[in-house]
A = this chain, B = another copy of it.
Amino acid sequence: MRTTRQWVLDRRPEGRVADADVRLVEVPLPPLEDGAFELEHIHLSIDPTNRLWMSDTAQAAMPIQLGRPVRAFVYGRVTASRHPDFRDGDMVRGLASWSDRSVLRAGALIPRRRGMPLSAHASILGMTGLTAYFGVTEIGRPAAGETFVVSAAAGATGSIAGQIARLLGARTIGIVGGEAKARRLVSRFGFDAGVDRRGPDLLEALRAACPNGVDVDFENAGGVILDTVLKLINPGARIVLCGMISGYEATGGWPTNDLSQILMKRARLEGLLVSAFADRYEEATSRLADWALAGQIAWDVDISHGLESAPSALARVLAGRSEGKQLVQLAPDPWDEAA
């Protein structure tokens, strides 16, 4: 009988994920029935939302049930198939779990783009890049010359969102944790400025960086960061609510926000779930790949090796210590020409 190693959720974390919350086990793979295929996982996508799925708070997806595997997006290779759309050797993105392999009934084929390793398909061309793309182009819609602010700006989604906004002609300001990250926003990602949220007065620092106010906020953090940005919004501002990382590990419920400026500035705040744009992934991926291959968007991946490292990789993401899109790599990247 074929087996896989797999992280299961034993207990709902309080605050940070503790060792006793998750457990690495070996379990039998389900039989390969008609309509299913087996996927060898090459990259696990490690995202703040993995932490959210571990909580039983009301959320877009179902919370992970206790005793069940830790849900995650994975990027890998089909090793056996009884599904008409997937063949041996196909590269596929699937919603699976922190495990070596899985048996799935659905997934998205990944067409090869020369010059792009699979890790790029798991970051700028994956759910991360798509989230940034649709959040900026469909909800935020910065016009040329407008001021675009993004929080968790050095993170995988934030850094791409800011660069897309810059390509659309916006003045782009990122909020990050630490001076080094703030400098990197400018030097690596071409932002107009980076603001350290840990500085002595975030409001004044942000005001200085946004002398014309804020027209679009791409919000990943929530909580006090969002409250600070809201104090500076212009009439008609758009707030793309992409994430509320500040609340994912909170134990006393979600942080709350003062909405008065949304009323006073007839602003719009909209929750972004990338799956609402699923019918346009292909168009977006193609545009992102063009930008990436032309050198117009930079992206970093932060690769941790081995399934054992998944919990610590998630901790890195949530602590803001990942230097780019966080992946856990389980097998050689077949499209990495540098490897």
Residues of A that sit less than 8 Å from B by CB? 57-60, 222, 226, 231, 235, 241-244, 247, 253-254, 256-273, 276
A268 contacts B271, C-beta separation under 8 Å: yes
The interface residues of chain B lying within 8 Å CB-to-CB of A58 are: 231, 260-261, 264
B270 contacts A266, C-beta separation under 8 Å: yes
Known: A60-B264, A263-B271. A256 touches B253 (CB 8 A): no
Known: A231-B58, A257-B257, A260-B58. A271 touches B266 (CB 8 A): yes
6 nearest CB pairs, A to B: A256-B256, A266-B271, A263-B271, A268-B270, A266-B273, A254-B260
The distance in angstroms between the C-alpha atoms of A59 and B58, with both chains bound, is 33
B269 contacts A262, C-beta separation under 8 Å: yes
Known: A58-B231, A231-B58. A244 touches B265 (CB 8 A): no
A259 contacts B276, C-beta separation under 8 Å: no
Closest to A231 in B: B58
A241 contacts B263, C-beta separation under 8 Å: yes
Of the candidates B59, B222, B266, the one whose C-beta lies within 8 Å of that of A264 is B59
The distance in angstroms between the C-alpha atoms of A59 and B260, with both chains bound, is 8
Please list 25 pairs of residues, one from A and one from B, whose beta carbons are closer than 8 Å in the complex, sorted by A's number: A57-B260, A58-B231, A58-B260, A58-B261, A58-B264, A59-B264, A60-B263, A241-B262, A242-B263, A244-B263, A253-B258, A254-B258, A254-B260, A256-B256, A256-B257, A259-B269, A262-B269, A262-B271, A265-B271, A266-B270, A266-B272, A266-B273, A267-B271, A268-B268, A268-B271
The interface residues of chain B lying within 8 Å CB-to-CB of A242 are: 263
A259 contacts B60, C-beta separation under 8 Å: no
Cβ of A189 to closest chain B Cβ, rounded Å: 24
The distance in angstroms between the C-alpha atoms of A207 and B260, with both chains bound, is 26
The interface residues of chain B lying within 8 Å CB-to-CB of A241 are: 259, 262-263
A276 contacts B266, C-beta separation under 8 Å: yes
The distance in angstroms between the C-alpha atoms of A257 and B59, with both chains bound, is 17
The distance in angstroms between the C-alpha atoms of A222 and B264, with both chains bound, is 13
The distance in angstroms between the C-alpha atoms of A264 and B244, with both chains bound, is 10
The interface residues of chain B lying within 8 Å CB-to-CB of A261 are: 58
